[in-house]
Structure 1
């Protein structure tokens, strides 16, 4: 398993070139931020957030029983269930916490109602998994006005909200590393012709994972063909290619011998991934030599679609997330090429670690980035054995929650 140092180094690959020379001129990439397709890209010159009023520091009503109001987007998916269960376990381990869990069922109005209830109850801190990024920002402002700090998880909300931070895996970063790996697997002797399945267009996590995949492929193709693109150049090119894909349904980057013939929604499910991959293969099955899937379940659906046309093992499938145990088994067997590390258990535990640091250890969280991303990490045939957890209760991979880093620490 990677150490904190190695994980941090992986994350810093996305902050590229943060030294004095870079400070003189900012790369065009960062002019597009914030953007729904760039969640996880770290601006090495990001602005401080210390001036934003976040209801910190916060003195709990009863230091021996800190009350957390938690509004979760859904419990209809194993990933989100594990977020909540992991938080409960960590809270019990720490002792002296009460978590009031409410479920929004994907309805922004329910999230807002949960905030109103938590404010009325006078909880010590609110945790939100946003159903709507703009709505969550408005909700958070009401809470902070009432003296209650707000921590987000899973999806970075709108920057107008006074959030302490957001705890999540790195959507773009994991996609980027998976894209590099996939392009290396294909090699420079073949053109890459891909089909893409995405959870849904418009969702920040979805768009950023796919943009990361495209950007990673661009970066590796640049290396293979000596095109001279820096990491940031490749990220910008991948971002622009994703915009072409989003508006036009396809793109062909001739210089890098990289084409995407179509994009289909998969709703983050195996069934959706199967349907999306079937549609892509129906029109381009004779040309596609790499399927790009946003998450494990859509990737598994793509594997079934590929098998159904008699091409099992002939079209590799690369995923940007999540690292469920079933996906690890498929990586180990060679059926799935790569996936990204996005553990619901690590996310839920990470939220509780941050809360405990703030309320019990005196951590000054007033200048954290809006997104406190876990370092980018992928799971491949080369490292999967080290990431399979002997604890069968863990539906994901082995993990460590990395330290939370302030903006000055990130800027170095």
Structure 2
């Protein structure tokens, strides 16, 4: 999937790590007798979700030309609607850095309380993000990092290297469970020039190396259905036998699976990436082994954090009283055993 130049440990998701969690309360000293240690602890309920002062959040996201990117925008807007104290001002989705810069300048001039931004280009948007921060408007940087630590109050990222680690670790598990000797492990990458693709491939190779395996065949696509089908077709023609295939992207995977079906090749375990609803339905019907999440909830998480920042709240499950500066979401493996849990987080390709 084309998620541009951002370089799936889930600290928070829309499943609700923030929702109604018990607040951590430090004990206090007094002249009173200590409580019986066997007594049940008393936990204060979190007030984070209780309505507070109104928060105006400006949101600028990508052009929805890909299932994952569309989900970034839709989940952010859906999350804002859950809070009566949040007013969300949504800029038109764009892949034009100049247009996005003007959108952020408008938010600054309008004196919004916070900005949630998935930049078209992190480096190109750094200066205007710093301008917002200098104006006292906290910026929540989503997915594609700025080139300065001073451009954002919070950075929320998926874990591309972690996706590779998760996929490779699961592949190693399959090798052991299926007693595969000299397995042929193939990889269908995304756009090779992107750091995110390089990180995913590096993680996959590192995880395989840990169990004495390596990638036998590798091709690259371009995060599109058409390129996925072409790359997978080339792979199948070159490799008469394959045991495991990891495809980096589930949108691209629509074409990949079409190539498998056209060639009537299904002898291998098919592992996907990103977590589309298509992939999860294939897992349910047995035509796909697993997929690795790259959460499309990052901007939705950004909305929640922006609200907490403006209302001077922290994360109720942390002792630290302020919102962290950097959050990297987990990249869990979705299988038939847990697909029902993750299906609500999936996106339509």
Partners of 2:7 and 2:104 in 1: CA distance: 28
Scaled by the length of structure 2, the TM-score of the pair is: 0.74
Residue matched to 2:218: 262
Which structure shows the higher helix fraction?
Answer: 1
Deviation at residue 396 of structure 1 after TM alignment: 4.7
Deviation at residue 332 of structure 1 after TM alignment: 2.0
Question: Is the Cα contact below 8 Å between 2:53 and 2:311 reproduced in 1?
Answer: no
- Would the alpha carbon gap of residues 318 and 146 (structure 1) be closer, same or farther in structure 2, given more than 3 Å must change? same
Deviation at residue 354 of structure 1 after TM alignment: 0.9
Question: What are structure 2's unaligned runs of at least 5 residues?
Answer: 10-51, 315-320
**Which of these residues, 104, 107, 132, is aligned with residue 115 of structure 1?**
104
Deviation at residue 181 of structure 1 after TM alignment: 0.9
Deviation at residue 185 of structure 1 after TM alignment: 1.4
Higher RCO, 1 vs 2 (CA within 8 Å, ≥6 residues apart)? 2
- Would the alpha carbon gap of residues 103 and 216 (structure 1) be closer, same or farther in structure 2, given more than 3 Å must change? farther
Residue matched to 1:302: 256
Deviation at residue 166 of structure 1 after TM alignment: 2.3
Residue matched to 1:338: 290
Partners of 1:173 and 1:380 in 2: CA distance: 17
- Would the alpha carbon gap of residues 331 and 208 (structure 1) be closer, same or farther in structure 2, given more than 3 Å must change? same
Residue matched to 1:238: none
Partners of 1:385 and 1:67 in 2: CA distance: 35
Residue matched to 1:314: 267
Deviation at residue 151 of structure 1 after TM alignment: 0.6
Partners of 2:245 and 2:80 in 1: CA distance: 40
Deviation at residue 362 of structure 1 after TM alignment: 2.3
Greater C-alpha Rg = 2
Mapping for residues 225-244 of structure 1, pairs under 5 Å: none
Partners of 1:120 and 1:70 in 2: CA distance: 14
Residue matched to 1:101: 90
Deviations 1:125-151 (A, max 9, x none): 111112112112222112212222211
Deviation at residue 287 of structure 1 after TM alignment: 4.5
Residue matched to 1:368: 325
Deviation at residue 302 of structure 1 after TM alignment: 1.8
1:136 matched to 2:125? The reply is yes
Question: Is the Cα contact below 8 Å between 1:197 and 1:298 reproduced in 2?
Answer: no
Question: Is the Cα contact below 8 Å between 1:167 and 1:373 reproduced in 2?
Answer: yes
Give the superposed CA RMSD.
Answer: 3.0
Question: Is the Cα contact below 8 Å between 2:58 and 2:112 reproduced in 1?
Answer: yes
Residue matched to 1:285: 239
Partners of 1:327 and 1:280 in 2: CA distance: 20
Residue matched to 1:230: none
Deviation at residue 102 of structure 1 after TM alignment: 1.6
SS across alignment from 1:320: strand
Mapping for residues 324-403 of structure 1, pairs under 5 Å: 324-344=276-296, 346-363=297-314, 365=322, 368-369=325-326, 372-389=327-344, 395-396=346-347
Mapping for residues 58-207 of structure 1, pairs under 5 Å: 64-187=53-176, 189-207=180-198
Residue matched to 1:55: none
Deviation at residue 274 of structure 1 after TM alignment: 0.9
- Would the alpha carbon gap of residues 92 and 382 (structure 1) be closer, same or farther in structure 2, given more than 3 Å must change? closer
Deviation at residue 72 of structure 1 after TM alignment: 0.6
**Which of these residues, 273, 277, 293, is aligned with residue 228 of structure 2?**
273
SS across alignment from 1:158: coil
Partners of 1:341 and 1:76 in 2: CA distance: 19
Partners of 2:92 and 2:201 in 1: CA distance: 28
Scaled by the length of structure 1, the TM-score of the pair is: 0.64
Question: Is the Cα contact below 8 Å between 1:343 and 1:396 reproduced in 2?
Answer: no
Residue matched to 1:213: 204
Deviations 1:231-275 (A, max 9, x none): xxxxxxxxxxxxxxxxxxxxxxxxx4x2343331232x3222112
Deviations 1:322-369 (A, max 9, x none): x2222111112222121112342x333311221222122522557522
